[in-house]
Amino acid sequence: MPPLRIVTLSLLLSPLGQAEEPPAHLGPITGIVTHGDHIYSVSQAGIFREAKRLAKPPFRVMSMAGAPRKNAGPLLLLGGGQPAASGEIAAIDPAKGTLAKLPLGDDLVYSVAVSPDGKTAAAAMADGRVLTFDFPGLAPKSVAESNRHRAIVRAVAFSPDGQWLASAGLDGLVLLTPRNPKAKPVVLADHSAGVESLAFAPDSGQLASGSRDGRVRLHSIEGRLLRTFQGVGEPPDATGFGQAPRVLCLDWSEAGLIGGTSSGYVFRLPSGQGDWQPLHRVKTGPVYSLGQTPGQIVAGKTGQVFKLAESAE
């Protein structure tokens, strides 16, 4: 693969309220949604489309997901709240503002996802619950417990065919919950550390899960372990005695499976033989979120969104 070139988006480091300089991202970029050529990102400072702030989040945002619409920008789902105080979700139309807001618990919502048809959404709860609800209405009566972990749920994801809802917990389990109530759930218990991230293959046939011990495991949708990548995110001079990198985010598109780590790596995993491939390293901190658009990778770190584009060099 040709080397990649990094392009930094201009998110100006100015205090909020100064009219002569636009507001900038503040803190970790906890969610990225791509829609055509547009890039939506979120941090404590707000929801941005490219460098323009569209709205201020109604709470501390831990995750963002999007539902595409024809001839319009995506509807956005935010999840977050306040640690040990509240867990909240909100549906946002970037052009019109907040459509609906709903409290879900007394601790954080760590992750959210929207089904492919855009009618159902899911939330990963700090108390171990995996909740589903109507989207974008967020009707309180539509909230249902889909599954439950024995620890914090860190990630949720719908399969592209809409048949499965996956959840990842710090109990080391990945739960595959069928959307068809007649089908049986699948429990993936191969991880030996808490699981942080999930991504389905575009054809819904495989699921990737990233953990707190620098491992990414690939399973078939039936639950068979296909492959384990180890040492993901470890720098070349790692001694093996320090804390293993956490695989904080994964994204799987037709272009391939990529991820980001607490050690600052953006990486790619091969579809065939081979080891994990580092694409770029952010030496100033973790890579919290990822997205892919045609020909480029979009990644979020602290205070900044950046792009990795294929280079002809």
Distances (CA, A) of 109 to 17, 85, 131, 148, 224: 29, 11, 10, 14, 29
Q: Is 17 helix (H, G, I), strand (E, B) or coil?
A: coil
pLDDT digits (tens, 9 = 90+) for 67-97: 988 878 899 999 999 999 999 999 999 888 8
**Looking at 9-13, 121-125, 236-240, 243-247, which range is the least confident one?**
9-13
Domains along the sequence of the chain with CATH: 23-250 (2.130.10.10)
Distances (CA, A) of 189 to 170, 217, 259: 12, 11, 21
The token pair that represents 87 in the structure block = 């867990």
Count CB-CB contacts under 10 A for residue 117: 10
Q: pTM for the complete prediction?
A: 0.90
pLDDT at position 17 over 50: no
Q: Are 154 and 166 contacting, i.e. CB atoms less than 8 angstroms apart?
A: no
User: How far is it, in rounded angstroms, from Cα 199 to Cα 205?
Assistant: 11
Answer whether the bond into residue 28 is a cis peptide, omega within 30°.
no
User: How far is it, in rounded angstroms, from Cα 284 to Cα 258?
Assistant: 20
pLDDT average, residue stretch 99-126: 96
pLDDT digits (tens, 9 = 90+) for 191-239: 999 999 999 999 999 999 999 999 999 999 999 999 999 999 998 876 6
